[in-house]
C-alpha cells in the first residue's frame, strides 16, 4: 500500500508518543472501573474520582490518542480510513453510553454538566461556574 505521506523521525516519534500515551488513560480507566465495562449491570455506580474527575470517558480519550498514533505511524489509505472509522465509532459509542447512563445512574446529568466528555480543558458553558473543589469558607 502506498503511503499518504512519508513519516519522518518527528512524525514517528509523535505517533509512538500518542500510541503509548493513549494506553495510559485506556488502561488506567479500566483499572479504576475494576470490572468488565462492556455490559451494563445493576451494580454499576457513578465513578467520579481519579481520571473520571477530569473527563467522563478516559478510556475513549485514550483510544483517540492510540488511533491518531497508529495513523501517523502507518499513513496508508486503508489504515487512515480504518482509524477515521474507529474515531467516529468511539464518539458514537460514548454518546450511546451516556444515553444509557442518564437513565440508570442517579447524578449522571449533573456529572455531565461538571466534567467534560473527552478533553479536560473543554467544558460546557453552564459548568464553568461549577468547581470540583469547594471554596474555602472565610474565617
The 10s digit of each residue's pLDDT in 119-130 is 887 655 544 444
- The average pLDDT across 4-24 equals 95
Give pLDDT, residue 127: 44
The 10s digit of each residue's pLDDT in 47-59 is 889 999 999 999 9
Under 8 Å CB-to-CB from 51, ≥6 apart: which residues?
A: 25, 28, 29, 32, 58
Q: How far apart are CA 50 and CA 138, in angstroms?
A: 28
Name the pLDDT band for 33 (thresholds 50, 70, 90): confident
Give pLDDT, residue 125: 54
Give pLDDT, residue 4: 87
Strand (E) positions, the chain? none
Q: How far apart are CA 4 and CA 80, in angstroms?
A: 9
Q: Which helix (H) or strand (E) holds 122?
A: none
Q: How far apart are CA 16 and CA 19, in angstroms?
A: 5
- The average pLDDT across 9-32 equals 95
Q: CATH 1.10.3720.10: does it fit domain 9-119?
A: no
pTM score above 0.85: no
Under 8 Å CB-to-CB from 135, ≥6 apart: which residues?
A: none
Amino acid at each position: 500500500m502506498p503511503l499518504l505521506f512519508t513519516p519522518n523521525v518527528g512524525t514517528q516519534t509523535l505517533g509512538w508518543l500518542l500510541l503509548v500515551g493513549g494506553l495510559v488513560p485506556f488502561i488506567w480507566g479500566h483499572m479504576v472501573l475494576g470490572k468488565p465495562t462492556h455490559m451494563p449491570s445493576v451494580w454499576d455506580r457513578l465513578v467520579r474520582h481519579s481520571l473520571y474527575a477530569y473527563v467522563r470517558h478516559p478510556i475513549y480519550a485514550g483510544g483517540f490518542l492510540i488511533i491518531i498514533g497508529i495513523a501517523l505511524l502507518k499513513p496508508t489509505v486503508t489504515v487512515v480510513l480504518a482509524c477515521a472509522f474507529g474515531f467516529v465509532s468511539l464518539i458514537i459509542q460514548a454518546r450511546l453510553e451516556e444515553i444509557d447512563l442518564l437513565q440508570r445512574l442517579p447524578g449522571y446529568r449533573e456529572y455531565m454538566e461538571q466534567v467534560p466528555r473527552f478533553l479536560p480543558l473543554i467544558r460546557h458553558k453552564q459548568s464553568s461556574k461549577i468547581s470540583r473543589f469547594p471554596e474555602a469558607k472565610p474565617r
